[in-house]
Amino acid sequence: MALINTTTTGVLGTTVYGDGAGDLTVQQNGVTVNKITAAPTFMAYTLTQQTISNNSATKITLNTEEWDTANCFDTSLSRFTPNVAGYYNFTLQVRFDSSLAFTNIWTSIYKNGVNTYRGFEQSNSPGATYFSQQQNTTHLVYLNGTTDYVEFYIYQANSSAASCATGYTQTPFCNRVYGFLARAA
């Protein structure tokens, strides 16, 4: 690990170089104030329709990767388990195309199997019908870099199961998730 240690009495404009030996730790008076590391980032999706059960949270199947810089996303489990501790930003996008009268739709980020963050709930007035429904959720989640993992769920309520959309030029994915390390811990 490379280390830069400055003092509060340092000379303004001084340039300090790390030794290039891996992650870079920045300290002030011996206290770590930041770490610069190879930051894991990924985008996972599915191109096939997934049926979302009515009135229950359904885990989103994400079986294809656009990128995964640190091999932390497991497409067989649709799960992200990072190898660097820190604060991760996730954006989940899901779209339904249906003439069903959805009464509620929301997306959730689960940490270690527990619903940690539920996105904005989209509700329609009773009997309202909309052709297209899209949910976007973005949230910052702390992960310890060893055992913590996240998964992504969607809940929809109408009269039956519904399938998410595919084939859009602007949104060609049924479901997709972006994630990146915002700040190492």
CB 47 within 8 A of CB 176: no
Mean pLDDT across 2-19: 57
Spatial distance between the Cα atoms of 154 and 144, rounded to a whole number of angstroms: 25
Spatial distance between the Cα atoms of 70 and 60, rounded to a whole number of angstroms: 21
Percent of the chain with pLDDT over 70: 66
Mean pLDDT across 31-43: 81
- Residue extent(s) of CATH 2.60.120.40 domains in the chain: 41-184
What does the pLDDT look like over 57-72, one tens digit per residue? Answer: 889 888 889 999 999 9
Buried b (16+ CB within 10 A) or exposed e, 23-47: ebbbeeeeeeeebebebbbbbbbbe
Q: Is this structure's pTM higher than 0.85?
A: no
Q: Of the given ranges (110-114, 140-144, 146-150, 171-175), which has the lowest mean pLDDT?
A: 171-175
Provide the 3-class DSSP secondary structure of residue 127: coil
Spatial distance between the Cα atoms of 1 and 37, rounded to a whole number of angstroms: 10
Does 41-184 carry CATH code 2.60.120.40? Answer: yes
Token pair, residue 11, equals 């000379």
pLDDT(166) > 70? no
